[in-house]
A and B are shown apart, each in its own frame.
Chain A
Amino acid sequence: MSRRNEIIERIRSLQGLPASAVQILNMIQDPDIDIGELTKIIEFDPGLTANLLKLANSAYFGMPRKVNSVREAAIRLGTNRISQLVIASAIAPIASKAVKGYDLPAGDLWTHAVAVAIGTEKMGLALNLKLPDHAFTAGLLHDIGKIIMGTFIEVDASPIMQLAFNEGVSFDAAEREILGIDHAEVGSLLLAAWKLPTDITEIVRYHHIPDEAEHGSQVLEMVHLANNLCLLGGIGSGMDGLNYRPSRIIVEKYNLKPKITEPVVMQIVTGLEGFHSWFNQ
């Protein structure tokens, strides 16, 4: 018996993003955004402000000196980065917890999320692609469905594991087979409920099966690659391990070789080091 409907029902009952985050994300869509107003809304939420400043000062964003105010961060980083940081700051408290169902200790899912976000951007750079602004965020959110599947729903993992590891079925396909839905679709439904744009929800939904997406995109392809590279690197892999199937079509399309992807793996690890002081809190 499929648990699909029960799982989808559960998504609806979950709390959304903090109101300030939603308000800010809508504001940032506006090309004539007023930085002063944006700053005010962010500063109204002390948790968001603190997280945002910590992230803005992480080595990844390469600030030459310490940023002390939201206003300074907004001016120096630009509204695109600020919107990424707002989402990251809003997600971090939820994504940093242990995800029991996937055997991920506290912090691991978040590390993986940031690693894939960084990897998506770096993979794009390595291939000289001009990725749209939502690339980082799509990478960051790709596995958000695992939080629902692994925390809020008490899934008995053993039949999924059995199918995945004994029969060579990819882990996402095993989830679909046993539960009627996989963590990728759950994530996309959650984000849709949070009113995130379809550009992002589509990527989240198809990150393991990009060849099946109706509207393929370069960001989807880069998230797929970055995710697989992170799994190979052991960055935030849980009981699902490396039991996923990379798309051969994408590898051929970009004529990918180890000399392109291995430096990206390295850059991901280096990029993560810049975030570390932040993870460990």
Chain B
Amino acid sequence: MQYTIGISDMRVSTQSDDILVTYSLGSCIGLAVYDPVVLVGGLIHCMLPLSKIDRKKADTNPCMFVDTGIPELLTEVYRLGAERKRLIAKVAGAASLLDAKGLFKIGERNYTVLRKILWKNNILIKSEDIGGTIARTMYLQMATGKTIVKSGGKESEL
């Protein structure tokens, strides 16, 4: 079954016939995590870096922000039996506008916060497709953990 993860949303799965997909990652962060031993994984689409701009929103929808969403995703996959040391993390998104300065650098800020949180959780990024001015679609195949990024008609494996 294919599940679409919207902006500021996430999904975890233990079903090997599931495909998780999130469309149109602009400056947002798409993070796929997968444990190849227990075949547990998840995909999240976070929009903004820090939840401090609206704590209330972060309570009702932690996935909107990188700093609250990522821990939420990790907690969920651990709950389903995934283990940190086996977890494979792949990242897509964090694009920007042309000559983006200051406030338009949401993508860069999203990525910085992501790195920090993964580092704190002792998780390394296995591979990534980030930056540039393109919008991306990201797929996680639960059977194998294969992660595909599509953009502008091109497709590549992360």
Q: Which residues of A contact B (CB under 8 A)?
A: 103, 108, 161, 165, 168, 170, 228, 231-239, 241-246, 248, 251, 256-263, 265-266, 269-270
Partner of B97, one of A232, A236, A260, A269: A232
Q: Is the CB of A248 within 8 A of B101?
A: yes
- Is A262 a contact partner of B26 (Cβ separation < 8 A)? no
A242 touches B133 (CB 8 A): yes
Q: Cβ of B1 < 8 Å from any Cβ of A?
A: no
Knowing that A242-B26, A266-B48 touch, tell me 12 more A-B residue pairs with CB under 8 angstroms.
A168-B98, A233-B7, A238-B135, A241-B133, A241-B151, A241-B152, A245-B99, A248-B99, A256-B103, A263-B53, A266-B64, A269-B7
Interface size on B, residues (CB 8 A): 35
Q: Which residues of A contact B107 (CB under 8 A)?
A: 232
Q: Can you list 26 contacts pairing A with B, beta carbon distance less than 8 Å?
A: A103-B152, A165-B133, A168-B98, A170-B98, A232-B27, A232-B97, A233-B7, A233-B26, A233-B28, A234-B26, A234-B93, A235-B7, A239-B152, A241-B132, A241-B152, A242-B96, A243-B97, A244-B97, A246-B97, A246-B98, A248-B99, A251-B104, A260-B103, A263-B53, A269-B7, A269-B8
Residues of the A chain whose Cβ atoms lie less than 8 Å from the Cβ of B106: 232, 258, 262, 265
Report chain B residues within 8 Å CB of A260. 103
**By the criterion CB–CB under 8 Å, are A239 and B133 in contact?**
no
B97 to A237, Cβ gap below 8 A? no
- Contact status B95-A242, CB under 8 Å: yes
A42 to chain B, nearest CB (A): 33
Interface of B is mostly: loop
Q: A165-B133, A237-B26 are in contact. Are A258 and B95 (CB under 8 A)?
A: no
Asked whether B24 lies within 8 Å of A234 as measured between CB atoms, the reply is yes
* Contacts known (A168-B98, A266-B57); A236 close to B103, Cβ less than 8 A: no
Q: Are A259 and B53 in contact (CB under 8 A)?
A: yes
Indicate whether B134 reaches chain A with its CB closer than 8 angstroms. Answer: yes
Residues 7 to 30 of chain B near chain A (Cβ within 8 Å): 7-8, 23-28
**B90 contacts A by Cβ under 8 Å:** no
Closest Cβ of chain B: how far from A149's Cβ, in Å? 16
Q: What distance in Å separates the Cβ of A122 from its nearest Cβ neighbour in chain B?
A: 13
Closest chain B residue to A161, Cβ basis? B152
Q: How many Å lie between the Cα of A165 and that of B135 in the bound state?
A: 12
Question: In the complex, are the beta carbons of B27 and A233 less than 8 A apart?
Answer: yes
Whether B104 pairs with A232 at a CB distance below 8 angstroms is yes
A228-B97, A244-B98, A259-B53 known; A237 and B135 CB under 8 Å?
Answer: yes
Chain A residues with CB under 8 Å of B134's CB are 165, 241-243
* A246 touching B104, Cβ below 8 Å: yes
**Residues 138-158 (chain B) with a chain A CB within 8 angstroms:** 151-153
- Report the bound CA distance from A33 to B7 in whole Å: 41
Contacts of A234 in B (CB 8 A): 7, 23-28, 93, 135
B113 → chain A closest CB, angstroms: 12
B24, B57, B101: the one contacting A237 at CB < 8 Å is B24
Inter-chain contacts of A228 with B (CB < 8 A): 97, 104
